[in-house]
Chains A and B, each alone.
Chain A
Amino acid sequence: MERESFMNAKNLNRFKKIKGIIALEKYLLPAPETIFIFDFEKQEKEIDVFIKGRDYLMIRSDKENDADFCPHNLTCPKNEAKDFIEGLTAENYAVILQECIPWKEDKISGNVLTLRKDLLIELMKGGPLTLLNRDGQVDACVKVRRGKPKKIECSGEKIISKKDLDDILRLVEHLPPYKIAEFSIGPDWLYFWQIIDDKTAKKLETAC
């Protein structure tokens, strides 16, 4: 079954991460090459094609209506990938199979929170981004007034170059308010991981 059929067959709104990854396409944000696996047997050929020619894969998972921690392996060797995927699908996880990002390279990860008038960017050295989201590792903050001329306020360590910041701002400028776009930047790549809705961010409008 093709990916589109699966996307139609499932209520993808119940898969928070998958919904967030699909949203990247809608807003034309660059993302690692990705396929979603819901049924190992039916999609085995698709998995084989994806794995072919890669040494490592990034494997994440998602579960319907489940906000708890989902299993993952961000640098899964090719020869272990299919067993891991099969195990996840057997436990009713949907699998997010992605090209492996070179995690050992110097890089920055972060979140962009869109408000009506401002963009709040929180950054950490390295990754994965879960260290920021779940453990609070924030090394720098940037607040940008939308529109031109841009007014920029920075705090914390200076870990991002003007070019990288400009690249991110150019890509997220058109996002509607109250979204969080998660990203990582390497020496010659910039990928977004997902976009999540954050309705609570409206409360920050008056405070900012």
Chain B
Amino acid sequence: MAKGKVILKGIGASPGRVRGEVKIIKFQEELEALASGKIIVTSFINPDFVLAIKMNPKVSGVITDRGGATCHAAIVTRELQIPYVAGTIWATKKLKDNMAVTLDGGKGIVYEREELK
């Protein structure tokens, strides 16, 4: 998979590489209306939020402002095999809905991708 420009660097919390469109999530209830294959971006996923992700197979990747590889959220995303970049600080500011990105959950990097049609 070709890499684009690096948009964000964080902590590789759950390995795996995934390409998809971003959806900024402010409230976990928004997960219910999520389109399949979306990479969700949020400030952090607390245990209740993690439970909602467990119940929602449409989430293909996770990017958060806070967190790290030892947080509860990281352990669960590894269990679920969902790539996760934590601790990016700026994800909810820099990324916008429907931006196409490639997420590398092992290296902790988010790359820019051309818009998906």
Contacts and interface: CB of A to CB of B under 8 A. Distances in A.
Contacts of B78: 200-201, 203-204
A137 B66 contact: yes
Interface string A127-152: 00000111111100100000000000
B52 interface: no
Binding site secondary structure of chain A: mixed
A136 B11 contact: no
B14 interface: yes
Contact of B66 (A111, A136, A204, A207): A136
B68 A136 contact: yes
Interface residues of B, number: 25
A135 B69 contact: no
A136 B73 contact: yes
A120 B42 CA distance: 24
Binding site secondary structure of chain B: loop
Contacts of B45: 136
Contacts of A134: 46-47, 71-72
Given A133-B72, A134-B72, A136-B73, A207 B15 contact: yes
A62 interface: no
Interface string B47-83: 1000000000000000010111111110100110000
Contact of A122 (B69, B105, B106): B69
A132 B73 CA distance: 10
A208 B104 CA distance: 12
A206 B15 contact: yes
B71 A113 contact: no
Contacts of B79: 200
B70 A207 contact: no
Interface string A181-208: 0000000000000000010110110111
Nearest to A69: B47
Given A122-B71, A206-B106, 5 more contacts: A132-B68, A133-B72, A136-B68, A200-B79, A204-B69
